[in-house]
């Protein structure tokens, strides 16, 4: 009876057949973000504590940027100086224009006064001309002394000379006004040219500020996404960081942790498929105390890379209550690829032994 029970167990019961790999770990289901230094530089500060929760844009590390900051400061100082020059020249230009208006009013007032004098002189000349004609008529009749005529002629000549002088004075003032206007226009143009040149310099120097700011910004390494720092090297302030150095791995917020295992192609292709059950033993957590992480195959890579095939497994309940399933935890994975009886398993082992190379057998 005992032998019958043993035969029934040996031929009828099913036991799981596993494919095992020692190369496996927990990873975030969302692709982790690798944060690298864009450029080389000396490290000023870093806040790369593993498991630190970060928001998008949070500062992770700062590289030295004294040269770039100095260039930006020099550009800003240059801009401030140019703008001060522009204000001073604009004030000078305004003063020149105000002076033009004031001089115009003064000159025009002087011309009006002189023209008024000219009108009075012309009236007096007319009177003297009339008086001279009267004296000449009286002289012909012998009614006045001979000396009266020369005095009248002299007075008229003097008045005509006064009128000529007033005409010249008016023309001089008009010419002087035109000359001053021409000189002021030249000076206005010179000042305006200097202002435009300074404004062009301001625009040119200002155009360098975004580039300087960009270069400074490149030396401040920030989190590209919100999440948790899953891995980071130990860096001390003052250390030189070459371009391309990986500074941190950020696990995106909300991502699920899955099991990622690497199998030999012969063990994976044709044997491992979706929905197969599995279990993972975490390194450093004895399975007898902490249990297994149970999983289910959700994806098998279509081709091998670096000699192995990646198999992704979803974590299913029950989960080990005493273990925090964090990204990066290593372990080994056992996937149930078949269920066979002990008899069939013994036959397979015997077949493998028979088919194995004979070299080295005794």
- In the chain, where are the structural domains located? 12-29+256-350, 31-64+219-255, 68-210
Q: Scan for tokens 């009286």, then name that residue.
A: 138
Which pLDDT belongs to residue 51?
Answer: 83
Match 């992704």 to its residue by tokens. 312
Could you tell me which residue, 355 or 108, shows the higher pLDDT? 108
Measured CA angle at 120 (ends 115, 123), to 5 deg: 125
Helix (H, G, I), strand (E, B) or coil at 280: strand
Give me the pLDDT at residue 343, please: 67
Give the tens place of pLDDT for each residue, 117-165.
999 999 999 999 998 888 888 888 877 887 888 898 899 999 999 999 9
pLDDT score at 359: 46
Which of 80-84, 263-267, 286-290 is predicted with the least confidence, judged by mean pLDDT? 286-290
347 pLDDT above the threshold of 60: yes
Task: Check if the beta carbon of residue 61 is closer than 8 Å to that of residue 39.
Answer: no
**Which of 361 and 344 is assigned the larger pLDDT?**
344
Helices (H), the chain: 2-12, 66-140, 148-206, 208-218, 265-268, 287-290, 342-355
The CATH number assigned to the domain with range 68-210 reads: 1.10.287
Whole-number pLDDT of residue 183: 87
What topology is assigned to 31-64+219-255 in CATH? OB fold (Dihydrolipoamide Acetyltransferase, E2P) (2.40.50)
Three-state DSSP class for 236? Answer: coil
Nearest Cα residue to 229 out of 35, 52, 37:
52
Third-level CATH fold of 12-29+256-350: Elongation Factor Tu (Ef-tu); domain 3 (2.40.30)
Percent of the chain with pLDDT over 90: 47
């Amino acid at each position: 009876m005992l032998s019958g029970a043993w035969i029934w167990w040996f031929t009828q019961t099913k036991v799981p057949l596993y494919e095992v790999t020692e190369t496996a770990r927990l990873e975030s289901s969302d692709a982790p973000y690798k944060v690298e230094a864009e450029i080389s530089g000396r490290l000023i500060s870093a806040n790369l504590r593993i498991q630190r929760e970060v928001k998008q844009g949070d500062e992770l590390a700062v590289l030295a940027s004294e040269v770039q900051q100095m260039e930006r400061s020099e550009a800003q100082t240059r801009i401030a100086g140019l703008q001060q020059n522009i204000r001073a020249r604009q004030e000078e230009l305004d003063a020149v224009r105000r002076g033009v208006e004031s001089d115009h009013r003064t000159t025009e007032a002087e011309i009006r006064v002189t023209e008024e004098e000219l009108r009075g002189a012309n009236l007096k000349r007319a009177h003297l001309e009339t008086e001279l004609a009267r004296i000449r008529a009286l002289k012909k009749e012998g009614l006045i002394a001979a000396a009266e005529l020369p005095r009248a002629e002299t007075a008229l000549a003097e008045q005509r000379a006064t009128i000529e002088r007033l005409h010249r004075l008016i023309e001089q003032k008009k010419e002087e006004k035109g000359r001053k206007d021409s000189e002021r226009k030249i000076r206005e143009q010179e000042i305006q040219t200097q202002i435009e040149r300074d404004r062009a310099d301001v625009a040119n120097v200002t155009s360098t500020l975004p580039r300087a700011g960009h270069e400074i910004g490149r030396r401040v390494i920030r989190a590209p996404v919100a999440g948790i720092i899953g891995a980071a090297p130990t860096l001390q302030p003052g250390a030189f960081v070459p371009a391309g150095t990986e500074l941190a791995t950020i696990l995106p917020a909300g991502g699920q942790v899955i099991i990622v295992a690497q199998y030999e192609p012969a063990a994976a292709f044709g044997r491992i498929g979706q929905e197969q059950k599995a279990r993972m033993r975490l390194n450093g957590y004895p399975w007898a105390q902490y249990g297994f992480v149970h999983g289910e195959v959700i994806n098998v890579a279509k081709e091998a890379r670096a000699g192995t095939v990646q198999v992704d497994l979803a974590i299913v309940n029950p989960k080990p209550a005493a273990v925090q399933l964090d990204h990066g935890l290593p372990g080994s994975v056992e996937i149930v690829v078949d269920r066979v009886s002990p008899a069939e398993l013994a036959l397979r082992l015997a077949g493998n032994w028979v088919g194995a190379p004979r070299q080295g057998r005794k």
